[in-house]
């Protein structure tokens, strides 16, 4: 199905997840890479994961797609953002990410829009930090 706009956008808020998995930078990087393969099967990209106060934030971009995950291990919670300028199997990505973090519960929303992620590492970090603060406020978590 082709929709007008930038492309399909999926957001996931996972709860009751594995704190150990959420606190592991290598696991987050692997989860991002595996999810990107669902969105863009032939993409070759490396995930970037930042340790931040209260957890981890990671992103992977390839061509016209990106996936960002903000992990809050002490709250067993994560938030994910998945976008591509082409159709992808949102259910398969949802399953890949909720399984990767062993989410006991989740809320997901899919719509059709887009956000451009900067390629510059410093700008990307600033964007991820801002998203993380917004998510913390939305979920009622202390920064």
CATH code where residue 123 lies: 3.60.90.10
Per-residue pLDDT, averaged over 55-84, amounts to 96
Is 69 part of a structural domain of the chain? yes
Nearest alpha carbon to residue 60 among 124, 109, 17: 124
Is 3 part of a structural domain of the chain? no
Q: What domain count does the chain have?
A: 1
Q: What is the pTM of this model?
A: 0.79
SS3 54: coil
pLDDT of residue 114: 53
Domain around 47: 8-139
Which residues sit opposite 71 in a β-bridge? 56, 78
| Residues ≥6 apart with Cβ < 8 Å to 12 | 78, 79, 80, 82, 94, 97, 98, 106, 107, 108
Higher pLDDT: 139 or 12? It is: 12
Residue 29: pLDDT over 60: yes
Spell out the alpha helix ranges (H) of the chain.
19-22, 25-39, 90-100, 121-139
Is 1 part of a structural domain of the chain? no
Is 77 part of a structural domain of the chain? yes
């Amino acid at each position: 199905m082709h929709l007008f706009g930038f492309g399909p956008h999926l957001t996931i808020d996972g709860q009751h997840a594995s704190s150990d998995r959420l606190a592991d930078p290598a696991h987050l990087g692997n989860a991002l890479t595996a999810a990107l393969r669902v969105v863009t099967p032939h993409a070759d990209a490396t995930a970037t994961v930042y340790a931040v106060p209260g957890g981890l934030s990671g992103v992977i971009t390839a061509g016209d797609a990106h996936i960002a995950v903000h992990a809050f291990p002490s709250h067993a919670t994560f938030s994910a953002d998945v976008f591509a300028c082409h159709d992808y199997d949102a259910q398969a990505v949802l399953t890949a990410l909720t399984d990767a973090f062993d989410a006991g519960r989740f809320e997901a929303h899919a719509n059709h829009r887009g956000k451009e992620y900067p390629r510059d590492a410093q700008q990307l970090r600033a964007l991820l930090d801002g998203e993380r603060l917004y998510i913390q406020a939305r979920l009622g978590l202390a920064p």
